[in-house]
């Protein structure tokens, strides 16, 4: 049963938008939820066509109003096969839910055009809240949402996310720890980003498929 609030399916990862080039891009949005990201890309001229994959029917139905096609179900078992089609594949909080995100990363590599890019955002298990609870309280407890969402099957740090993409033959060209909240952001600025891996709730990484030689 899906117990997440409606806001879970309507969030927009704004930090991705400036990194997507203007133009008639073809985009695959994995875990597209209600399609806010794709709708924004279409609206500002950063996409010509957007495809999506979403597990939950209601969210997929809403995304399908603006996406060219939305595949409904488990991306690891759906019959989806592309070869060099997409300029961008967006993985916003989906790979941590998969049984084998490493194989999925290699599939995404095949789906992309040469010079195409994958954007991956996922929870940062190095966050200080988790470390505090584990080290000082002996707690490793799952919740309905957040880093310890009980539907998460895999856990990553900044370095393990990078390694997953590099092992799939991507060239990593952008990494960012997503630090949110006024106090955390201010502290991070004053400490010159020294603690961003402990403050961030999410890691964001971009990898590019090399051009044909």
**Residue 29: inside a domain:** yes
Q: Nearest CA to 205 among 185, 175, 169? A: 175
* Position 129 in a domain: no
Tally of structural domains, the chain: 1
> Is residue 186 situated within a structural domain?
no
**142 within a domain of the structure (yes/no):** no
Per-residue pLDDT of 115-162, as tens digits, reads 999 999 999 998 878 788 777 788 888 888 888 888 888 999 999 999
pLDDT, tens digit, 9 for 90 and up, residues 160-204: 999 999 999 999 999 999 877 777 777 667 666 667 887 888 999
- CATH number, domain with residue 55: 3.40.50.150
pTM (2 decimals)? 0.88
Mean pLDDT (whole number) for 49-72:
96
- Domain assignment present for residue 139? The answer is no
Pairwise CA distance, residues 64 & 60, whole Å: 6
Could you tell me if residue 143 is inside a domain?
no
Rg of the Cα atoms in the chain: 17
Quick check: helix, strand or coil at residue 175? strand
Domain region containing 52: 12-124+150-180+202-208
Best CA proximity match to 15, nearest among 178, 192, 201: 178
Q: In which residue are the tokens 């033959």 written?
A: 169
User: Is 96 inside a domain boundary?
Assistant: yes
Retrieve residue 51's tokens: 């495809």
């Amino acid at each position: 049963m899906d117990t997440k609030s409606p806001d879970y399916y309507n969030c927009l990862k704004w930090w991705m938008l400036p990194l997507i080039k203007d133009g008639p891009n073809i985009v695959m949005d994995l875990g597209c939820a209600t399609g806010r990201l794709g709708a924004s890309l279409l609206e500002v001229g950063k996409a010509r066509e957007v495809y999506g994959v979403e597990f939950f029917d209601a969210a997929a139905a809403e995304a399908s109003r603006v996406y060219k096609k939305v595949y409904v179900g488990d991306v690891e078992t759906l019959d989806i096969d592309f070869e060099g089609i997409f300029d961008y594949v967006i993985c916003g909080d989906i790979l941590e839910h998969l049984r084998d995100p490493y194989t999925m990363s290699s599939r995404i590599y095949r789906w992309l055009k040469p010079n195409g890019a994958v954007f991956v955002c996922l929870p940062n298990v190095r966050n200080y809240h988790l470390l505090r609870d584990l080290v000082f309280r002996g707690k490793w407890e799952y919740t309905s949402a957040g880093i310890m969402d009980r539907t998460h099957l895999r856990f990553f740090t900044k370095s393990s996310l990078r390694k997953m993409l590099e092992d799939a033959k991507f060239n990593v060209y952008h990494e960012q720890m997503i630090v949110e909240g006024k106090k955390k952001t201010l502290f991070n600025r004053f400490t010159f980003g020294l603690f961003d891996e402990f403050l961030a709730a999410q890691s964001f990484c971009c990898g590019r498929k090399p051009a044909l030689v």
